[in-house]
């Protein structure tokens, strides 16, 4: 019997964390010929050589894609990297001839992979579509990937509705929840003592985990926002600050340098190019606050019953639990939000605070079963635009 060719792409630490359980499922099933393509930040020393984490998980990397990725990318650098990535993805897809390509999220590398697959008529299964992040160009890229994809695995009912609103047939859109929950549940986290050794830092009474990315679709100043955030943190005493560094978006250089300077001056502050998934999840488990503008503060933090402070516009539009407290980017707004959130974090919580809209489903199994069914029963058809009945709106 001819094996079904399934290919997945990962170019960043966040994508891999989402994909890992799906990779295991396809790799362990003899019905499938699974191929993994790894590129981008995974292969860069500047971003922590996170391919090592994939290898340590005993996952075979079938193809590596290298393109000109700088430590600090400007818009023209990202355009050039995307163009190079499109050609290289296209060449690999033409060799593999996949029955389906699995993509996650909204990064420019994912857009490049989607374009390369779409133009060669290889069906795409897209995970985490339909979401809104108003303060990032990823918002538009995500919707573009949706339009090139055949099947859609979304995290909430709201996101399912949005994908349909974009002209996708409801029969091709599946609400499977957030994959990261399953990954967390299956991960054996470190003890606080072991985590301290791993990160080579002594923990104070309180711990803040901070991830701040550039606001790529806003006129607001990243410099002003990161300065306001760092100055606000100085108010908190007896606290260890754990920074995970920004990704390869444009304008990340400003944020990166400011964090480095802060950690040099503040004894109890530490930065990491990449903690690694287990260290990162363990840090959230033991922290008092998750701070910044990363999706992890919105999706992962509530799983651990942690309060998170969401700063600025980058994640504006995402579905959020009540435990996510948002604020603007002025010093007064950030400081007030941090104080309120910190006070809540050391009090007894109301369970409704952490009621998570992303659910706790076995998402990888749902996706695996659905893809297997669609391919086995030859349900992959040429897609067409789905018109919503305006009269019913």
- Go through 249-271 and write b for each residue having 16 or more CB atoms within 10 A of its CB, e for each that does not: bbbbbbbbebbeebbeeeebbbb
| Domains of the chain, residue spans | 4-177+361-383, 190-354
Strand partners, 208: 241, 289
Distance CA 241, CA 177 (A): 30
Distance CA 242, CA 219 (A): 28
The pLDDT score that the predictor gives to residue 187 is: 87
Percentage of the chain beyond pLDDT 90 is 60
Strand partners, 6: 34, 100
C-beta separation of 307 from 344 below 8 A = yes
Which range (117-121, 189-193, 225-229, 382-386) has the least confidence? 382-386
| 4-177+361-383 carries CATH number 3.10.50.40 | no
Identify which has the larger pLDDT, 130 or 181: 130
Question: Cα dihedral angle (247, 248, 250, 253), rounded to 10 degrees?
Answer: 70
From residue 99, give the alpha-carbon distance in Å to each of 85, 150, 364: 21, 12, 19
The pLDDT score that the predictor gives to residue 38 is: 95
pLDDT tens digit string along 264-286?
999 999 999 889 889 999 999 99
Identify which has the larger pLDDT, 37 or 15: 37
- Domain 190-354: what homologous superfamily? Glycogen Phosphorylase B; (3.40.50.2000)
User: Does residue 223 register a pLDDT over 70?
Assistant: yes
User: Do 190-354 and 4-177+361-383 have the same topology in CATH?
Assistant: yes
Percentage of the chain beyond pLDDT 70 is 92
Which range (25-29, 51-55, 258-262, 384-388) has the least confidence? 384-388
- Helix ranges (H only) for 28-106 are 51-56, 75-96
């Amino acid at each position: 019997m001819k094996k079904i060719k399934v290919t997945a792409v990962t170019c960043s630490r966040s994508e891999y964390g989402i994909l890992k359980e799906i990779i295991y499922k396809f790799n362990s099933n003899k019905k499938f010929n699974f191929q993994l393509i790894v590129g981008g930040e995974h292969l860069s020393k500047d971003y922590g050589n996170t391919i090592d984490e994939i290898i340590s998980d005993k996952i075979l990397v079938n193809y590596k894609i290298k393109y000109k990725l700088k430590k600090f990318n400007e818009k023209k650098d990202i355009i050039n990297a995307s163009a190079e990535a499109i050609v290289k993805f296209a060449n690999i897809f033409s060799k593999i001839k996949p029955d389906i390509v699995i993509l996650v999220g909204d990064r420019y590398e994912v857009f490049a992979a989607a374009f390369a697959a779409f133009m060669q008529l290889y069906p795409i299964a897209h995970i985490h579509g339909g979401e809104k992040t108003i303060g990032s160009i990823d918002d538009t890229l995500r919707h573009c990937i949706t339009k090139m994809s055949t099947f859609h695995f979304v995290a909430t009912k709201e996101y399912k509705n949005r994908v349909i609103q974009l002209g996708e047939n409801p029969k091709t859109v599946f609400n499977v929840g957030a994959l990261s929950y399953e990954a967390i549940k299956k991960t054996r986290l470190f003890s606080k003592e072991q985590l301290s050794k791993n990160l080579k830092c002594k923990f104070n009474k309180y711990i803040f985990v901070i991830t701040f990315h550039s606001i790529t679709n806003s006129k607001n100043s990243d410099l002003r926002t990161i300065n306001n955030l760092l100055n606000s943190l100085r108010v908190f005493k007896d606290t260890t600050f754990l920074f995970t560094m920004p990704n390869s978006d444009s304008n990340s250089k400003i944020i990166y340098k400011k964090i480095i300077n802060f950690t040099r001056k503040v004894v109890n502050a530490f930065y990491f190019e990449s903690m690694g998934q287990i260290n990162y999840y363990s840090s959230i488990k033991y922290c008092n606050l998750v701070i910044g503008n990363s999706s992890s503060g919105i999706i992962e933090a509530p799983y651990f019953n942690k309060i998170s402070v969401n700063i600025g516009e980058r994640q504006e539009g995402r579905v959020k639990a009540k435990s996510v407290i948002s604020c603007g980017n002025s010093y007064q707004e950030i400081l007030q939000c941090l104080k309120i959130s910190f006070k809540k974090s050391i009090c007894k919580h109301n369970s409704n605070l952490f009621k998570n809209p992303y659910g706790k489903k076995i998402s990888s199994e749902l996706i695996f079963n659905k893809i297997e069914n669609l391919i086995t029963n030859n349900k992959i058809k040429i897609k067409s635009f789905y018109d919503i009945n305006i009269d019913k709106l």
